[in-house]
Amino acid sequence: MIYEQYDLPQNLEKYIEAVFYMKGFTPDHSMERVVPTGHVFMIFELDDIPRNTYDNETLKPNGFFRQAWISGMHKNFISISAHMDSEMLVVQFKSAGAYPFFHFPLLDVSEKVVSAEECLGSEIIELRNDILKAEDHHAKMTLVIDWLVKRFDEQLAPSEDLLGFIDRLQLEPVSKFNEIIKTYPYTQKQLIQHFKKYVGITPKIYQRILRFNEILKLIQDKEKISWADVAYSCDYADQSHFIKEFVLFSGFNPQEFIKEESNRGKSNFFPVGPKG
């Protein structure tokens, strides 16, 4: 499998987490659960294999995507198709980073996977076609970076106040959430409005996503875990609340998650179907 990550220009690092290319992925399953990480993604398929999203309960297809699409901020896990020998190029935006490039409120794509052409027009399909023609993966990623640089509108960039607030949520303990909110130099109503515009969800939901990802780090590759200790360290009111939220974000209860060998060493993609 080929996996390459592009070294971002300094002026994009504040808004984009990564631009990466992958080819030759050979999963032993046909479907994956993707847990939320607090990022927005723009995905280009380069293999002419259409992708599906699925209803989390019935696992019946509920979305069909090809060429390029956007995955907005999600509150819970989503179910997607996995394919042999796939080739994709992905832009992973930081939590409040997509708006200066998309030019529309992120609330518009919250809890959705949508066609990039529907949101950004024919230019995104033209870009995808140019990517297909590029000689190698470095040239492909360069085309995307050039498009991002041209598309960026500094007047639409999030304020330093908002970026600093998000940094504090990411770095400081969950227990300090209410304290951090009080430091924001606008009203709580304005904070929520800013989050919906730039992030796509409310600060509280965003904080819950951060907390769940912190749990995944705490339990990674461990076979024996005190769930009561994990719940307490992550500031859950009680263990039942912790278990309920774990299921909402991952689709697994904690014990099931630990027993799944296929979940070991993974970040936010977990198999749910047979080889396809």
* pLDDT tens, position by position, 69-79: 999 999 999 99
pLDDT on residue 276: 43
Mean pLDDT throughout 182-199? 97
User: Amino acid identity of 241?
Assistant: H
Mean pLDDT throughout 32-45? 96
Provide the angle, in degrees to the nearest 10, between the axes of the packed helices 203-219 and 239-250: 90
Query: Within a 13 Å sphere around the CA of 252, how many CA atoms are in the beta-carbon half?
Result: 21
Q: Is the pLDDT of residue 151 over 50?
A: yes
Dihedral of alpha carbons 105, 110, 112, 113, sign: positive
Q: Is the pLDDT of residue 194 over 90?
A: yes
Q: Which residues contact 269 (CB under 8 A, 6 or more apart)?
A: 32, 33, 34
Rg (CA), the chain: 19
Cβ–Cβ contacts within 10 Å for residue 196, how many?
18
Distance CA 99, CA 21 (A): 22
Mean pLDDT throughout 112-121? 98
Q: Is the pLDDT of residue 27 over 90?
A: no
pLDDT on residue 137: 94
Distance CA 45, CA 51 (A): 9
pLDDT band at 265 (very low <50, low <70, confident <90, very high): low
pLDDT on residue 149: 97
Among candidate residues 150, 14, 170, the one with its CA nearest the CA of residue 93: 14
Mean pLDDT throughout 218-243? 84
* Average pLDDT value over all residues in the chain: 92
Distance CA 132, CA 138 (A): 12
Q: Which of 56-60, 89-93, 219-223, 244-248 has the highest mean pLDDT?
A: 89-93
- Model pLDDT for residues 99-111, shown as the tens digit of each residue: 999 999 999 999 9
Q: Is the pLDDT of residue 273 over 70?
A: no
Q: Is the pLDDT of residue 235 over 70?
A: yes
Among candidate residues 166, 23, 20, the one with its CA nearest the CA of residue 92: 20
Among candidate residues 140, 91, 138, the one with its CA nearest the CA of residue 116: 91
pLDDT on residue 18: 97
Q: Is the pLDDT of residue 97 over 80?
A: yes
Q: What is the pTM of this model?
A: 0.93
Q: Is the pLDDT of residue 258 over 90?
A: no
The Cα-based distances of 57 to 77, 213, 226 in angstroms read 11, 22, 29
Q: Is the pLDDT of residue 12 over 60?
A: yes
Query: Within a 13 Å sphere around the CA of 79, how many CA atoms are in the beta-carbon half?
Result: 18
pLDDT on residue 254: 86
Who wins on pLDDT, 240 or 114?
114
